[in-house]
Structure 1
Amino acid sequence: MAKPTSDDIKTLIEQFEQSDWKEVHVKTDGFELYLSENPKSSGPPSAVTPQLTTATSQTVESADTSPVVAEPALEAGKAILPEGMTAVTAPNLGTFYSAPKPGAPPYVEVGQNVSAETEVCLIEVMKLFTPVKAGVSGVIREICVSDGQMVEYEQLLVVIEPS
């Protein structure tokens, strides 16, 4: 990933300020940013002071996009899945996109059969797009966020009934 520009960082800060997030920690090769509403916070837990450094590599490894199978009750403030359903969650914070580009058909729709390798959406942060795959074969039962919506790490995106 190229070194983030000041506009990229400014956009991320604006999105943080407009969200209900309490803190956010973004870390990639050669770049780390920690934002918190807590004025006494000095950084992420068990971390050295956050820093912005020059990127040493221009390559980006794709994040693991395997879904997290939800327990009957997810963490506080998260949705409860019906028994037997599988959750596809956000691999990182960012903006949820249901289609590859504006005006294009969505990757998936409710009622659609999908394979484990079917892309269900994209998550974008600072111009880095992460494809999210279904992870299981089955039928899309619910799409939990709308196109262009900000999502948090591990937020429920799609509910799949495994086949």
Structure 2
Amino acid sequence: MTKNMKDVEALIRLFDQSDWVEMRLEVEGLSIVLSNDPSAGARALSTSAASVAHPAPMAATASAAVAVSARSPAAAGPATTVVPDGLVAVRAPNLGTFYRSPKPGAQPYVELGQAIEPETEVCLIEVMKLFTPVKAGVRGRLVRVCVEDGCMVDYDAPLFLVEPLA
């Protein structure tokens, strides 16, 4: 199996673990549509069966165009982390794998109790070899890490809790 097919399989696994309804990905002439809508399969099969039969090689790039339709918060179920009054959550900008440090064995970007600024990078979210740095977005003190390193996170999941500083 080629590396590109492994990337596609990884994308499918991430999609299966998410609460997304549909995802569309277009990279270098290859179009992939993933959907949890039973009626979408028949539509996609009838309109694009020929193009899926022999896909062009694909490389994960930062220029990939992705359109995602997330389920409503009510349909997604209750959040696993409740944000207490007086604290602010730093949330995941996209679905992917959460990493506290820039590489395995390195020190985490931030530690509990550390003062952070809005531009402080606090972690990375990785999907299909595309790493997205996450900035705190708030000035304060880090009081809780909500996710274990290397775990899958959904879009908008709380990653850290911060006590804002005036």
TM over 0.5: yes
Of 87, 90, 100 in structure 2, the residue corresponding to residue 88 of structure 1 is 90
**Equivalent AA in structure 1 for residue 151 of structure 2:** Q
- Using structure 1 for the length normalisation, give the TM-score: 0.70
Contact 2:18 2:154 in 1 (8 A): no
1:98-141: per-residue Cα shift (whole Å, max 9, x none)? 11001111111221111111111100011100000001110111
Looking at structure 2, the residues matched to 94 and 14 of structure 1 have their Cα atoms a distance apart, in angstroms, of 11
Runs of 4+ in 1 over 3 A off after TM superposition: 20-24, 26-34, 51-55, 58-61
- Closer, same or farther: CA 33–87 of 1 in aligned 2, 3 Å: farther
Looking at structure 2, the residues matched to 93 and 59 of structure 1 have their Cα atoms a distance apart, in angstroms, of 16
Compute the RMSD of aligned alpha carbons.
Answer: 3.4
Unaligned runs of 5+ in 2: 64-72
Shift of 1:36: 2.9
What residue in structure 2 maps to residue 41 of structure 1?
40
Aligned length: 143
Matches within 5 A, 1:11-160: 11-17=10-16, 19=17, 21=19, 23-27=21-25, 32-42=31-41, 60=62, 75-76=73-74, 77-78=78-79, 79-160=81-162
Higher fraction of strand = 2
Larger Rg: 2
Unaligned runs of 5+ in 1: 62-74
What residue in structure 1 maps to residue 7 of structure 2?
8
- Closer, same or farther: CA 130–22 of 1 in aligned 2, 3 Å: closer
**Equivalent AA in structure 2 for residue 140 of structure 1:** L
Give percent identity, aligned residues only: 45
- Using structure 2 for the length normalisation, give the TM-score: 0.69
3-state SS, counterpart of residue 5 of structure 1: helix
Indicate the larger mover: 88-97 or 78-87: 78-87
